[in-house]
Amino acid sequence: MTRLIFLGAPGAGKGTQAKILSSEYYIPHISTGDILRTAVQQQTALGVKAQSYMDRGELVPDQLLYDLIRERLTQPDTVEQGWILDGFPRTLPQAEFLDGLVAEVNQPYEYVVYITVPDEALVQRLLGRGRKDDNEVVIRNRLRVYYEQTAPLTDYYSKLGKLVDIQGDKSEEEVTAQLKALLSR
Ligand code: AMP
């Protein structure tokens, strides 16, 4: 059973690496960005509320994420096979919510994987990705939001003794190798 939280700036490779580990080890991958993008596409109540924040590169309000995470963590696949959380938590209240939830449902996580990549490399990667919220103005805003609201979580998890640094400024294969080494500890 593996439960991991992936932390890192937009473009650090969280999604790419989560997908690789998910398919090789059969660990359910939970990407809140993917879930929200689907909700926007389908114009569900959640999607309608989230859309304007996402288009601007802002975080959607914490409250919108909580039901979604609680539901996803109590489905049979995640209960039985664990999870990789990619893109959640992104704020301190989200981290505290998650710690409350995992205690309640008895799903402790092993590590918080902190994937680090220098800023300029991030911008170049994001510009190359071509997603709707990947134009330069929105990218700069997402990085600012990341440093203001999400980066402080490294302190929170480091104090809990959960934080593991992974160097993300390497080839995809090298980053995957670092993660596999961690999982075989
Ligand atoms: P991502 O695909 O993880 O880069 O997420 C894309 C966008 O979805 C972000 O820029 C936010 O607007 C929104 N989002 C995803 N996860 C969260 C979260 N945990 N809290 C708030 N907003 C989120």
Is the beta carbon of 28 within 6 A of some atom in ligand 1?
no
* Minimum CA distance residue for ligand 1 atom 15: 33
pLDDT in tens, the chain (185 residues): 999 999 999 999 999 999 999 999 999 999 999 999 999 999 999 999 999 999 999 999 999 999 999 999 999 999 999 999 999 999 999 999 999 999 999 999 999 999 999 998 999 999 998 888 989 999 999 999 999 999 999 999 999 999 999 999 999 999 999 999 999 98
Is the beta carbon of 54 within 6 A of some atom in ligand 1?
yes
Give 139's contacts (C-beta < 8 A, 6+ positions apart): 10, 11, 57, 123, 126, 127, 133
Q: 10 C-alpha vs ligand 1 centroid, how far in Å?
A: 9
Q: Three-state SS across 34-87? A: HHHHHHHHCCCHHHHHHHHHHHHCCCCCHHHHHHHHHHHHCCHHHHHHEEEEEC
Q: pLDDT tens digit string along 17-51? A: 999 999 999 999 999 999 999 999 999 999 999 99
Is the beta carbon of 88 within 6 A of some atom in ligand 1?
yes
Is the pTM higher than 0.75? Answer: yes
